[in-house]
Structure formats: structure tokens, C-alpha cells
């Protein structure tokens, strides 16, 4: 099958909107590959923090991004041969990722890596610019959104569940700062892609959100 005919579902949205969980489950239900594009920025951030790379040095950060040795195995994310699934979820890594994602050279360095995930039988890609920049011709584009309060609560439960201490007040401030950075950056700002279905998830369970995405996909004439 030519690459251009391989089905793509993009699921974009702000931090903690539930896009990762929804994308993962949709990919499982359809037997598709899964691309967590945010993890690529987090992996770059983790590499930079570990190497004490100057976080203002766009060229050095882009070089790190370009030579990332990473892979996704089920729910595990590997950097080289090391499982860094938990390490990249630390708040300092997330905040660093959000900052370095404003650099055009870093975003450019990761484009090829992201496009490489388009393999048969299909891919579900989640991130902030999957439908607007990376896969603009995807047959199904979804934009998940939720209130800052709902997202902070989700992130809080997620962190506490992993034994990581967190303060709701700090999470709210972090999410608002990230939203501002993501929506106002000059390159690939966080916006619903043209033709995207917007799904408000503040009062939806993950299962309900997954069901809606699968319905939209089935309406295109695909079975699941």
C-alpha cells in the first residue's frame, strides 16, 4: 500500500486533555500503530537535561532531536535501550519540552521521525500539530479539549497514582503557562486543524471519547 493511502487519525489537544489515553485505545481497537509525538519532545528534553545542554541553544537541541534513538513498545517508551516511560512524565521534563518545542529547528528536526510512523495498517497520532502540520491530509482529525480545572484534576490523579507528589495550585499554573506557550508560539501553534472534529472531554470518560472517535472513523466508511 502506498504511504499516502495508509489511514491516519490525528488527535490533537492541550496538555492533559486525555489525548494520549484516547489515541492509545483507538489504536488498540483498530490494530493501528501509535505515535505519541509529545513523547518525542519529552525525550529530547530529557536528553538535554541529562547532558546539561544549554536550553537556549536551538542548534544543539535540534541536533539532539535529530539523532534521537527511541522506540515505542506497547506502553513503554525507550531511549536507546532504557525504558524512560516514567522519567519523561516528570513535570520538569514536560515544562522543558514545552519550552524547546517553540524552537523551529527542533520541530523541523522531528518531522521526519514523526512521518516515519505512518505504516500499514494505519497510525493514530497524538500531539499538538498532528492534524495541522504533520498529517494535514489525514482522513480523520480530532481536537480534544477540556477545561483547565478538569485537566489539572486529571494530571493530579495521574501523578499521585504514580507516587509523584503534586499540588493542584501548581498544576493549574503550569497548565495555563503551557497553554499560553503552545497557542501563542510563532510556529505550529496549538489550534484545531482545518476540518477537525472538536471533542469537549471535561465531562466524558475516556471510553466515551474513544467511542466517539471510532464512530467518526466508521462514518468515513471504515469498519472497526
The answer to whether 29 is annotated as binding is no
Q: Give the gyration radius of the chain's Cα atoms.
A: 17
Residues 181 and 102: beta-carbon distance below 8 Å: yes
Instruction: Calculate mean pLDDT across residues 44-57.
Output: 97
Q: What is the pLDDT of residues 174-192, one digit of tens each?
A: 999 988 888 888 788 888 9
The answer to whether 14 is annotated as binding is yes
Q: Indicate the pLDDT class of residue 224, thresholds 50, 70 and 90.
A: very low
Q: What is the pLDDT of residues 5-25, one digit of tens each?
A: 999 999 999 988 999 999 999
Rounded to 10°, the helix 168-184/148-161 angle is: 120
Pairing type for strands 197-200 and 76-79 reads unpaired
Torsions phi, psi for 153 (to 5 deg): -65, -40
Q: pTM of whole model > 0.85?
A: yes
Q: Indicate the pLDDT class of residue 55, thresholds 50, 70 and 90.
A: very high
The superfamily (CATH) of domain 9-212 is P-loop containing nucleotide triphosphate hydrolases (3.40.50.300)
The answer to whether 163 is annotated as binding is no
The answer to whether 102 is annotated as binding is no
Domain ranges of the chain: 9-212
The answer to whether 31 is annotated as binding is no
Q: Indicate the pLDDT class of residue 222, thresholds 50, 70 and 90.
A: low
- Of 149, 125, 146, nearest to 137 by C-alpha is 125
Torsions phi, psi for 166 (to 5 deg): -155, 150
Amino acid at each position: 500500500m502506498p504511504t499516502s493511502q495508509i489511514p491516519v487519525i490525528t488527535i490533537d489537544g492541550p496538555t492533559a486533555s486525555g489525548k494520549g489515553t484516547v489515541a492509545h485505545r483507538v489504536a488498540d481497537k483498530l490494530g493501528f500503530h501509535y505515535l505519541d509525538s509529545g513523547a518525542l519532545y519529552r525525550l529530547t528534553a530529557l536528553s538535554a537535561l541529562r547532558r546539561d545542554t544549554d536550553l537556549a541553544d536551538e542548534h544543539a537541541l535540534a541536533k539532539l532531536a535529530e539523532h534521537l534513538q527511541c522506540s515505542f513498545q506497547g506502553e513503554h517508551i525507550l531511549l536507546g535501550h532504557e525504558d524512560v516511560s516514567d522519567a519523561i512524565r516528570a513535570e520538569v521534563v514536560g515544562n522543558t519540552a514545552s519550552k524547546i518545542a517553540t524552537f523551529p529547528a527542533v520541530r523541523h528536526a522531528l518531522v521526519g521521525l514523526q512521518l516515519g510512523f505512518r505504516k500499514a495498517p494505519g497510525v493514530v497520532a497524538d500531539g499538538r500539530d498532528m492534524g495541522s502540520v504533520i498529517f494535514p491530509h489525514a482522513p480523520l482529525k480530532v481536537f480534544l479539549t477540556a477545561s483547565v480545572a478538569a485537566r489539572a484534576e486529571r494530571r493530579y490523579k495521574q501523578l499521585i497514582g504514580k507516587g509523584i507528589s503534586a499540588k493542584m495550585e501548581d498544576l493549574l499554573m503550569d497548565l495555563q503557562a503551557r497553554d499560553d506557550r503552545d497557542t501563542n508560539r510563532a510556529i505550529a501553534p496549538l489550534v484545531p486543524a482545518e476540518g477537525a472534529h472538536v471533542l469537549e472531554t471535561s465531562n466524558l470518560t475516556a471510553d466515551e471519547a474513544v467511542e466517539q472517535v471510532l464512530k467518526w472513523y466508521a462514518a468515513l466508511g471504515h469498519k472497526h
